[in-house]
Structure 1
Amino acid sequence: MSARRGLLILFARAPRLGTVKRRLAREAGDLAALRFHRAMLREMARRLGRDRRWRTVLAVTPDRARFPSPLPRVPQGRGDLGGRMARALARDRRRAVLVGSDIPGIRAADIAAAFCALDGRADAVFGPAEDGGYWLVGLGPRRPAAPFRGVRWSGPHALADTLRNCRGRRVAFVRRLRDVDDAADLMAWRAAAGSAGC
């Protein structure tokens, strides 16, 4: 990795009952969704936020929300998901990596691999999700002009749509992971955590 540390952005909504993980909440209830969200934020801040190989910020919405985290906070600002992600990634035009807050399997080695790809030949790097989306996106200095234009979020086309916006750029991938969007994902995560003795 280069001497200048890249920027890791943990992208999250304030942990408030009835406002987080709405698809999960519809099936598992608001309280279960809130508990999962809080647990993931704590774990990701602990697991990734202390790593000195990169700088870490928490990009939050709503912008003025109180957040139980020791990480520096920056506002996501207004706009749709793509606009807010693009704004967050523009905080470091050399190397920035953004991850969601619902990825139980994420490890520091995944973030290191993404920065390594951007230090190498990649202009963009993605962590594919099992559902056709992605749990990580990173951009280097030769980033696409509008990487998130026309992306169909929360469905099986999100990665394909974003890759279409990256034509003419060198793209790399880190490992595929499962994000937790609904009750089936939550049960699968709990089963895997239980079998691992967590």
Structure 2
Amino acid sequence: MTPPATGPVALLVIAKEPVPGRVKTRLTPPYTPHEAAALAEAALADTLRAVLRAPARRRVLVLDGAPGPWLPPGFEIVPQTSGGLDERIAAAFARCADGPAFLVGMDTPQLTADLLADVTSGGYDAWFGPAADGGFWALGLAEPGRAGSLVRGVPMSTDRTGALQRARLTAAGLKVRDLPVLHDVDTAADAVRVASCCPPGSRFAAALDRLAGAAR
């Protein structure tokens, strides 16, 4: 049963269709492209489930590609725009400018609904989730219509992306709430670390365990 769309925040997931050879390429080797895509699909499914269980006025999947059987009901689907990741993030926020919006990626399957449930409380202007690799796993804005000036031009996929993005927020005079540091799934070692942090019933942890069993 899909929870009703209630709550102050729009929850956005920016993701890529889990197609072999297009997702999680840093997992190959040791995994094959099909195995890496299976892990990506499981991570995305876990993320969508967490978002579905959290209160929200809207739940939006900002997708590069086409939806598949991994997508549960209850999400609006919008295509990603062209351009760099900074452009695509800014455009995703612009689609939800009718109230606070909070965006996550598909690389943190350890995400829980409890963590999402109160992220936009406390009178903050922005919410920032740093990633252990120097990036960020989440970004929330009380006024998402400002995302263009807050996100565009921040260099993505570097070990300083998170620091630069947070600095952009504070330079704009925003009151920022810092969220817990999470590990992204980029490498095989990351996958093992993240799986150990996943909640019970995690599809990602189960998928990784199946692959480990097949390799034995």
Query: Could you tell me which of 24, 46, 62 is aligned with 1:59?
Result: 62
1:47–1:164: structure 2 CA closer, same or farther, 3 Å change rule? closer
CA-CA distance at 1:193 after TM superposition: 5.4
- Number of residue equivalences: 191
> SS in structure 1 opposite 2:164?
helix
How big is each residue's C-alpha offset from its partner over 1:79-132, in whole Å with a ceiling of 9 and x where there is no partner? 110111011112222200000001022111221232214xx1x21111111111
Q: How does 1:126-141 map to 2 (within 5 A)?
A: 126-141=128-143
Query: Structure 2 regions of 5+ residues with no counterpart?
Result: 1-5, 206-216
> SS in structure 2 opposite 1:57?
strand
> SS in structure 2 opposite 1:138?
strand
Residue equivalent to 2:184:
179
> SS in structure 2 opposite 1:10?
strand
Q: How does 1:1-198 map to 2 (within 5 A)?
A: 5-62=8-65, 65-68=66-69, 69=71, 70=73, 71-93=75-97, 94-117=99-122, 120=123, 122-141=124-143, 143=146, 145-166=148-169, 167=171, 168-192=173-197
Task: Give me the whole-angstrom Cα distance separating, in 2, the residues matched to 1:58 and 1:144.
Answer: 18
CA-CA distance at 1:51 after TM superposition: 3.3
Q: Percent identity?
A: 34
What residue identity is the alignment partner of 1:172?
A: R
1:15–1:115: structure 2 CA closer, same or farther, 3 Å change rule? same
> SS in structure 1 opposite 2:121?
helix
Task: Give me the whole-angstrom Cα distance separating, in 1, the residues matched to 2:83 and 2:19.
Answer: 20
> SS in structure 2 opposite 1:116?
coil
Kept after mapping to 2: 8 A contact 1:149/1:165: no
What residue identity is the alignment partner of 2:107?
A: D
Task: Give me the whole-angstrom Cα distance separating, in 2, the residues matched to 1:136 and 1:99.
Answer: 5
1:54–1:25: structure 2 CA closer, same or farther, 3 Å change rule? farther
With 9-18 and 137-146 compared, the bigger mean Cα shift is at 137-146
Query: Structure 1 regions of 5+ residues with no counterpart?
Result: none
What residue identity is the alignment partner of 2:20?
A: L
Kept after mapping to 2: 8 A contact 1:150/1:161: no
Kept after mapping to 2: 8 A contact 1:127/1:137: yes
What residue identity is the alignment partner of 1:46?
A: R
CA-CA distance at 1:145 after TM superposition: 4.9
How big is each residue's C-alpha offset from its partner over 1:46-80, in whole Å with a ceiling of 9 and x where there is no partner? 22224344421111013xx2433133211111111
> SS in structure 1 opposite 2:92?
helix
1:72–1:171: structure 2 CA closer, same or farther, 3 Å change rule? same
